[in-house]
Amino acid sequence: SQQGEEDPQALSIQEGENATMNCSYKTSINNLQWYRQNSGRGLVHLILIRSNEREKHSGRLRVTLDTSKKSSSLLITASRAADTASYFCATASGGTYKYIFGTGTRLKVLA
Amino acid sequence: NAGVTQTPKFRVLKTGQSMTLLCAQDMNHEYMYWYRQDPGMGLRLIHYSVGEGTTAKGEVPDGYNVSRLKKQNFLLGLESAAPSQTSVYFCASSPRTGLTFFGPGTRLTVL
């Protein structure tokens, strides 16, 4: 069963707009990672946020974590056509580093 | 550094044949993982390893075996391939508390 569930499943926006995608999970976690996957390619890690952190930034990316709601969000600001990809969250729980992935959000940025 | 490499990149098997996928990492990471990704889906964890000589089952381990004889290598074996094992297989590695790095994937078709 999937630990993480991304929402929405698909998102289409105009270049320059912000894109927000959410991840909900079921059990307590050690940390949560966000990944990007371009069509037909491998996964690229974006950000890791630990359970004792609430927010992290990396360039145009902002990740928040709310452990009370068991949810995380990924915000991409000033989106570009090159941001078109699928985005996945992955969580590790129970004192392990066995990462379980969600089903992903497919983002399309229109030029 | 080459990062995480996988061989082969593509393979076509007939039902019942066996094969081994090789994953190698040169980052001295403790943890290694094998995932499969089916069309439009997230990644599902097959097996993982938390150190040389150790392996553990993930979400979907049936029909696969793994070995981690050397820290830098993680092998995934299919003893008797089935069409349901047609998928893209990703290997990944991570340090104990850091980001997970993925290989480029192996596209396997079982006829």
B7-37 per-position pLDDT tens digit: 999 999 999 999 999 999 999 999 999 999 9
> Which CA distances in Å does A111 have to A78, A105, B2, B22?
12, 19, 34, 40
Give the SS3 label for residue B83.
helix
Distance between CA atoms of B29 and B13, rounded to whole angstroms?
Answer: 31
pLDDT at A13: 96
CB spacing of A43 vs B102 below 8 angstroms:
yes
**pLDDT score, position A1:** 43
Encode pLDDT of A7-47 as tens digits. 899 999 999 999 999 999 988 888 899 999 998 788 999 99
Nearest to B91 by CA among B38, B51, B39, B49: B49
Chain B residue closest to A5 (CA)? B42
pLDDT at position A92 is 81
Residues of A in contact with B99 (CB under 8 A): 33, 45, 48
In a 3-state reduction of DSSP, which class is residue B62? coil
User: Are B43 and A33 in contact (CB < 8 Å)?
Assistant: no
- Is the CB of A45 less than 8 angstroms away from the CB of B101? yes
Residue A83, helix vs strand vs coil: helix
Q: Give the minimum alpha-carbon distance from A100 to chain B in angstroms, rounded to a whole number.
A: 7
What pLDDT score does A19 carry? 97
Q: Which residues pair with B31 in a beta bridge?
A: B94
Mutate to test the interface with A, among B9, B88, B102, B107 (most CBs of A within 10 A): B102
CB atoms within 10 A of CB A23: 26
A1: closest chain B residue by CA? B59
pLDDT for A47-82, tens place per residue?
999 999 999 999 999 999 999 999 999 999 999 999
